[in-house]
Amino acid sequence: MEINATEFKAKCLKLMDEVAKTHETIVVTKRGKPVAKLVPVEPEKEAQPSYFGCMAGTIKITGDIMAPIENEDWEAGLGEEAHFYEGLGVAEPRPEDKGK
The pLDDT value recorded for residue 71 is 75
pLDDT in tens, 25-81: 999 999 999 999 999 988 777 677 778 888 888 988 888 888 877 777 777 777 777
Nearest to 37 by CA among 23, 26, 21: 26
The pLDDT value recorded for residue 33 is 94
Instruction: Tell me the whole-structure pTM to 2 decimals.
Output: 0.44
pLDDT grade for 91, boundaries at 50, 70 and 90: low
Compute CA distances 21 → 27, 38, 49, 73, whole Å.
16, 13, 27, 68
